Each structure stands twice: as C-alpha cells, then as structure tokens.
Chains A and B, each alone.
Chain A
Amino acid sequence: MSYPKMASLLKKLMEKTDAVQLKWEEGSKKATFRVSFPEYTILLSIRPCADSPEDDYYISIFNSEGTLIEETSDRELATFIPNAYQQMQSLYDKARRQALGVDKAIDNILENLK
C-alpha cells in the first residue's frame, strides 16, 4: 500500500469536506459514511479495536464495480501522518455531520428560536 498517497488523499478529503464540496451520505451499514466520484467511492467507518478501548477509523476505496481495492486505518497511517487518529476522527465526524445534516438542523432551529 502507498501510505504517502493515502496520507495525501486524507488531507485532500479534509480540505474538500471543510469547504463543503463533497456530498457525504450515510452508507447502507450503520455508522458508515461515503462519498462517490464518477469511478470510485470512498467509505469511512469505525470498528472496535481488540487491544484498545478506542475505536479504529478506517478509510476504504471501492472501484467502479463496487469492489474494495484499498483500505487503511488510522493505526496504519500513524507512522506516516502525525495525529492520524485525531485527523481521521475529525474527518469522520465532519462527514457524519454533513451526511446527517446536523449543522443545517441546528442552524434551522437557531433561526426558529430567534
């Protein structure tokens, strides 16, 4: 696996998610969030870790036929990215908020409370 490339991908996803330029949505499985491009799909998920109380964050890439072609966790990226856990946790949280429309809901409620 090309970890530097995955690190670049993670960085770019963070930037584009911050700029609300990606259409994150819920995956078919609970607590998974995905964004699709014309030929690929990226899926974010969390899974329990056997030797730690903290969950692992996973980023997976699926090809145009829906086959998993690459997958890595924050644990694997930790050697190549400083604060990999915090970064993936942050991306996952932002993707979740965007997919579920959390910020939009809060803004709407705040508007109604004015």
Chain B
Amino acid sequence: MIGDIASVVGAIIGLIGFVIIIINVRSSRKAAMQAENAVLKVRVDIQRLHSVEDFSSALAAMTEIKTLHRQQIWQLLPERYSALRKSLISIRATTPDLSEDQKTTLQNAIHNFSTMEADVEKFLADGSESPDVARFNIAVSRQFDRLQQILVEIKQHIGR
C-alpha cells in the first residue's frame, strides 16, 4: 500500500519535473529567438546607417556635378557620372527593405547619369552637340530631390 502511494507520488513528481523542464526549454528558446531578432534588427539598422552615409555621399556628388556642369568642365564629368552610377547601384543592392517605388526612383537616377555620361563622352570624342547645361542641371536637381526623399524615409526607419 505505502509502496503504491510512493510510486504514484514519484510518478506525479516526475511528471511535474518534466513539465517544468519543458516550460524552461520553451522560455529559453523564446529568449534566444528574441535575442536573435534583436541582433537582426541591429544588423538591419547598421545597414540602414551605411545606406544613409552612401546616400549623403551620392547627394554631395550630385551637387558637385551641377557645379562642374555650370563651369563646363566636361573632361572631369564622365568619371563623376560613372562613380555616382556605381554608388547608386550599390545603394539599391544593399539598402534593406526598399519599396518598388524607391527602387524605381533609383533606377531612374541610374539611367539619368548613364545617358549623361554617354552624351558627354560623345561630345568629348567628336565635339558634336554640346550638352545643355540648364537642362542637365534641372535633371540633376530633380534626381537630387527624389533621392533626398528616400534618404529621409530610410532615416525614419532607423531604430524602429
């Protein structure tokens, strides 16, 4: 009789112990997942901070390009367009969670500087049609405003 009670009590204690172990395993798994999510979030934020830096450099490059247009220093421009284009391609590839609209804006800017580069290269090669400074700078300003808008949107996502 006492032996039966002892074995039932033992079984109950074993079951309770098992349940406690399961609860502990679950809570530690949850804690591990929360820690993993936090690390992931920090990693994404760091990528966003890099993008902000890259965007700022790209915007500064665009301002410099506008000045070079005004001064008509065409020889320096193909290299600047090419560097800016590469920077924009890199931004598109590395910025996390860009929307389709933001990717379209970046594509538009990449195409814009690609055609400017081709036009200036052609002008330098054969002295044909001189690039239209006013038209070029209006186009650069338009791209500048749009990219700055994306920069603001990315900044707003940091830490959220």
Contact = CB atoms under 8 A, between A and B. Distances in A.
Interface in A1-51: 25-30, 34, 36-41, 43
Interface string B60-87: 0000000000000000000000000100
Interface size on B, as a range, is 20 to 34
Given A28-B136, A30-B135, A64 B107 contact: yes
B115 A38 contact: no
Contacts, number: 55
B95 interface: no
Interface string B98-133: 001001110110111111100100000000000010
A65 B115 CA distance: 11
Given A28-B139, A37-B107, A67 B114 contact: yes
A28 B108 contact: no
A28 B107 contact: no
A28 B104 contact: no
Interface size on A, as a range, is 10 to 19
A25 B139 CA distance: 10
Contacts of B115: 27-29, 43, 66
Given A36-B104, A37-B104, A38-B103, A62 B111 contact: yes
A41 B103 contact: no
Interface in B26-61: none
A38 B136 contact: no
Contacts of A64: 89, 92, 107, 110
Contacts of B132: 30
Contacts of A36: 104-105, 107-108, 111
Interface string A58-70: 0000101111000
A65 B108 contact: no
Nearest to B111: A41
Interface of B: 85, 89, 92, 100, 103-105, 107-108, 110-116, 119, 132, 135-136, 139, 142
Interface of A: 25-30, 34, 36-41, 43, 62, 64-67
Q: 3 shortest A-B CB distances, which residue pairs?
A: A66-B114, A38-B103, A36-B108
